[in-house]
Amino acid sequence: MPSERMSDEKRSVQFSRRKFLAGSGATVAASLAGCFGGGAGSSGSDSVKIGFVLPFSGTYSFLGESIVNGVKLRLDEQLDGEIDGRSVEYVRKDTGADPATGASITQEFLQSENVDFIVGPVSSAVAGAMKPEIASSGSAIWLNANAGNYKLVQDNCTKYHFRTSFNTWQTSAPLASYINDNIADNVVLSYANYTFGQQSKNLFREEFENVGGTVVDEIGAPLGTSDYSSFLQEIENSGADAVFSFFAGSDAVNYIKQFSSFGLNGKMTQTGSGFLLSADTLQAQGTAALGMYSLLHYTPTKQTDRNQAFVDAYSGQYDTTPNVYACQGYDSALAAELAVTEAGGTETDPMVSSLAGAELDSPRGYFKFKSSTHDPVMDMDIRQVVEADGGVQNEVVETLTQVEGPTWGCDL
């Protein structure tokens, strides 16, 4: 139960802070300072402090919880709460989906909590608001565990930002040549009409036209649409042989279910960014998703020893299969582990140097932080939905190795 975990954790954070203050023989004045958030001593040189800036309420709370689970699987379960002899502490605050909240939590974590790492956020809009705080402070490493907006790297890129997730180019464009070679040379685009959907659609379109394909039409539906039937009619009328889409969460479930119930799956091949058909939506999409293609950097059913070990550990701990967000959380923990170990401490600049260009042993496959952007260079899976015991699952049909993508003028 999420809230139970949360309150346990709050308690343990408070407790450890109190213990620290008492143990160091702090004066009354110092402990007051600690209580009021000025506890400069809370992040002692012998500990590693991680601040979660994630949604724990609202639509994306499930994603936030998955990321935290991934981080803790590595640090608490596999490393017994210690990195290189330093104990790990956590603070967490709920961003909801609000950029301003994300920015103020970040500021608080940097200034009062003296965190060494910031893990989050889920939303790119929140990430945009957090970036100036982190760039100007320079006192913590930002492990961006989900926000994919490529513009975070394009506009004023900062060396403190390390993406442990993906960028929008990676989850859309690389599918273009596969579709053109194996599925159809003409597509219609359908997408949730907000920043992420538009970016995915535009980046895919550019690449698809580069490889010689034709985009017949594009159809945007408002974020949070629950009935796609009239948009589906437009898609059908386009006459394209395939469709590339960006939808996520409940939008993805509504879109895919309705796509197939109107029989479009018999007329055109559905493809899309991996969030369209991911582990957390497939159960609800069911047989409506059969045969559809998507592209993502993590697939729980991927048949590698590394991934199997991760899936076993995660399911053993949380009683559920890991999703892409859990993997991104886990990789954030791997990055923190590597940074502290290599730099021999929590000084920010040495940690930046150790992470830039470093490789992580990620469940997703090959993973490296590109030196010039700190974006991931990683393997991307092209998957197709197939029948499985009691439902459907993604099967990897091809793995694109070490996918990099543009640098958007960033040169760190």
Q: Is 285 in the site for other proteins (CB under 8 A)?
A: yes
CB of 261 to other proteins, least distance (A): 4
| Size of the residue set binding other proteins (CB under 8 A) | 40
Among 258, 270, 307, 348, which residue interacts with other proteins (rule: CB under 8 A)?
A: 258
Q: Is 154 in the site for other proteins (CB under 8 A)?
A: no
Q: How far apart are CA 198 and CA 287, in angstroms?
A: 28
Distances from the Cα of 67 to the Cαs of 63, 157, 162, 328, in angstroms? Answer: 6, 24, 15, 6
Q: Is 138 in the site for other proteins (CB under 8 A)?
A: no
Among 262, 318, 366, 408, which residue interacts with other proteins (rule: CB under 8 A)?
A: 262
Q: Is 237 in the site for other proteins (CB under 8 A)?
A: yes
| Nearer to other proteins (CB atom), residue 133 or residue 280 | 280
Q: Is 38 in the site for other proteins (CB under 8 A)?
A: no
Distances from the Cα of 222 to the Cαs of 82, 202, 258, 264, in angstroms? Answer: 45, 17, 16, 20
Question: Using an 8 Å Cβ cutoff, are 382 and 175 in contact?
Answer: yes
Q: How far apart are CA 231 and CA 234, in angstroms?
A: 5
- 257, 261, 263, 265 alpha-carbon torsion, rounded to 10°: 20
Q: Is 94 in the site for other proteins (CB under 8 A)?
A: no
Q: Which of 400, 408, 407 is nearest to 175 (CA)?
A: 400
Question: Using an 8 Å Cβ cutoff, are 330 and 74 in contact?
Answer: yes
| Nearer to other proteins (CB atom), residue 267 or residue 306 | 267
| Nearer to other proteins (CB atom), residue 169 or residue 247 | 247
Q: Which of 78, 125, 63 is nearest to 336 (CA)?
A: 78
Among 16, 31, 47, 61, which residue interacts with other proteins (rule: CB under 8 A)?
A: 61
| Nearer to other proteins (CB atom), residue 354 or residue 394 | 394
Which spans of this chain sit near other proteins (rule: CB under 8 A)?
1-3, 58-59, 61-62, 65, 193, 219-222, 224-227, 229-231, 233-234, 237, 249-254, 257-258, 261-263, 280-281, 283-286
